[in-house]
Amino acid sequence: MHQLMRVVTPIIAAAALALLSVQPAYAATSGGTGTTFTITGGALSITVPGAANLGTQAAGITALTATGSLGDVTVSDARGTIAGWSTTALSTAFAGTTTAVPASEITYVGGTATTTGIVVVAPLTATDLTSAKPVAAGVSAIGVNSGKWNPTITVALPAGTVVGTYTATITHSVL
Amino acid sequence: MRSFLLAPLLVVAALTATTGTAAASTSVPATQIQSVSNAVSNVAASDAAPAPGGGSVGLRLMDAPAEAASDPRARVYIVDHLKPGAVIQRRVEVSNTSQTPMHVALYAAAAGINAGSFTGADGRTQNGLSSWTKLDQATLELAPGARVPDMVTVTVPADAAPGEQYAAIWAEIGGGGPGVSLVNRVGLRMYVDVGGDNPAPTSFLLDSLTAVRGPDGSPGVSAQVHNDGGRALDISGAVSLSDGPGALSAGPFPAQVGSTLAPGQTVSVMIPLDRRLPDGPWQVSLTLRSGLTEKTAQGRILFPSGPGASDPVSLRDSLSSPLMIGLLVLLVAAAIGAGVLIARRRARRPSDS
């Protein structure tokens, strides 16, 4: 028995060492002790919005659509990192004096984007803007970059929409 | 007799060495990439003039924890680990690059991670983290070209539940006018982990690789990533191809950054490749990273000749897990030990008879 233990003990010790040495590595993240440093670098920014008008549509018994462009939306990322950015769009219903056209009737077509710097921006087509939908993202970004696109929105007016002026608020959010 | 003991030890040492090189995780700080891009951006930023005409509203983070100086994510977002009862303050700066004065609304609102992206909740919806976040000034009046700081204070309640939460600080400006009113807002992400002394681990697994060809014929590699840690990940990385037809190598090709994973989520990260690449087969080396955590895996792929996807190549071979390696080592060592004992008993028998 003693002979057996003399042979087996170092083997078990070595095997135990082997098991211990194969461990996944976890990276420590910040502990928040209160000391901070100041970051230099630019900001993530989005253009000041103008006003958009979808024009006039004659009322009729068949369903119609109102289409218009929202004007250029430019996202500038001057942070100089590889973080990238993503933009979503959301709309309220088009409210008129008596009736409303729900935001689910809105289609947002991003179109094509022009970019500066190293970034890939492929604007999307989003339908149903009742909740925020992704419309454009700056991916594979390296350094300072920007993306500009001119979205077109199309509102499908249900048949029998009452004459009047309809207004809505469309929000672009970039993170 | 003693030399018999060396043999199993040498076998164990050899196996340990091979498992060391095959281990799937290394921690390599991404500071080299960070410093290159900072150098480029400093040149570009000084050349950039304020946008003519419209201009824009900008938001940036000014302070980050000193311990996170090497973490690229902490320089862009509010990323922190806080104990219940902790209070932190971070400055943010709002800028106006237009030619007209600007009225900016500042507030914190809820956010979440869905389908691989970090998105803010609609409007001013609140959650736990956003309700703990206060801004010194809720509205700012900015003159043309002005840059104004504001202070963000996050107060974690003493009874806060452990875990990571997400929110966003928004700087919002509205255009008026009849018809469609446009509101644009730019946000700063917050990833705050509440817990005890140690933060939850940051970890992810590379599940599989799939060679795909899009409808327009462009090839790509889709990597399935699973977040098995306790913190959200912002994935970036690259793919390198080697040992291809005609001894070709290609890459590195960067991954489409913008994939964000909450703990427990699985997402496919797409790495687009060059259209001129032959079908293969290729040896693929995939490196993905989030902050300071990096993982590398290898596989062999063959692109389909037409649009579609090849069979996924699994990167998580069960034989390479640490537990399996340890058991394998024990088995081999036990077999050698048994062999030694049997040899000794046979050597003793002639003296007995």
Mean pLDDT within A23-42: 58
Q: pLDDT at residue A54 above 80? A: no
For the segment A142-157, what is each residue's pLDDT rounded down to a tens digit?
Answer: 889 999 999 999 998 8
Chain B CB within 8 Å of residue A53 CB? yes
Taking the C-alpha atoms of residue B73 and residue B61, their distance in angstroms, rounded to an integer, is 11
Structural contact between residues A59 and A135, judged by C-beta atoms closer than 8 angstroms: no
**Residue among B33, B117, B183 whose CB faces A171 most closely:** B183
Nearest CB to A25; choose among B12, B26, B334: B26
pLDDT cut 70: percent of chain A above it = 79
- Closest CA in chain A for residue B271: A140
Q: What percent of chain B clears pLDDT 70, i.e. is strictly above it?
A: 79
Query: Out of A7-21, A83-97, B36-50, B138-152, which region has the weakest mean confidence (pLDDT)?
Result: B36-50
DSSP conformation class of B179: S
- b or e along A79-112 (b: 16 or more beta carbons within 10 Å of the residue's beta carbon)? bbbbbbbbbbbbbbbbeeeeeebbbebbbbbbee
Please give the class, per CATH, of domain B204-314.
mainly beta
Question: Residue A2 pLDDT > 60, yes or no?
Answer: yes
Same fold for the pair B54-194 and B204-314: yes
8 Å CB contact of A26 and B202:
yes
d(CA A15, CA A80): 48
Closest by Cβ to A140, choosing from B8, B57, B256: B256
Per DSSP, B53 falls in state T
A172 and chain B in contact, CB less than 8 A? yes
> Residue B34: is its pLDDT beyond 50?
no
Judged by CB atoms closer than 8 Å, whether chains meet at A172 and B184 is answered as: yes
What does the domain layout of chain B look like in residue ranges? 2-22+322-352, 54-194, 204-314
> What pLDDT shows up at residue A1?
66
Give dist(CA B257, CA B118) in Å, integer. 12
Average pLDDT of the segment spanning B325-340: 85
| pLDDT, tens only, B250-286 | 988 887 666 899 999 998 888 888 889 998 899 999 9
Categorize the per-residue pLDDT at B32 as very low, low, confident or very high, splitting at 50, 70 and 90: very low
Residue B104's Cβ-side half-sphere holds a number of Cα atoms within 13 Å equal to 37
Q: Point out the least confidently predicted range of A40-49, B49-58, B342-351.
A: B49-58
DSSP string, B55-102: -EEEEEE-EEEGGGTT-GGGGTSEEEEE-TT-EEEEEEEEEE-SSS-E
pLDDT the model gives residue B30: 35
CA–CA distance, A69 with A92 (Å, rounded to integer): 17
Mapping DSSP to helix (H, G, I), strand (E, B) and coil, where does residue B37 land? Answer: helix
The CATH number assigned to the domain with range A41-47+59-174 reads: 2.60.40
The residue-averaged pLDDT of A74-95 equals 91
- Distance, in Å, from the CA atom of B192 to the CA atom of A108, rounded to the nearest integer, reads 33
C-alpha B24/C-alpha B236 separation (Å) is 17
Out of B67, B177, B187, whose CB is closest to A174? B187
Q: In a 10 Å sphere around its CB, with 0-12 CB exposed, 13-18 middle and 19+ buried, how is residue A34 labelled?
A: exposed
State the amino acid at position B340 in one-letter form. Answer: V
Q: How many CB atoms are located within 10 Å of the residue B216 CB?
A: 7
* Tokens, residue B155: 């107060």
Average pLDDT score over residue span B110-116: 92
**What is the rounded average pLDDT for all residues in chain B?**
82
Say which CATH superfamily domain B54-194 falls into: Immunoglobulins (2.60.40.10)
Least confident of A18-22, A126-130, B112-116: A18-22
Chain B within 8 Å of A123 (Cβ-Cβ)? no
Chain B hits for A71, Cβ within 8 Å: 182
Banded model confidence at residue B62, pLDDT cuts 50, 70, 90? very high
> Between B1 and B96, whose confidence is greater?
B96
Q: Do A134 and B88 touch (CB under 8 A)?
A: no
The structure tokens 């929000």 sit at A171
B contact test, residue of A5, A12, A45 with most B CBs within 10 A: A45
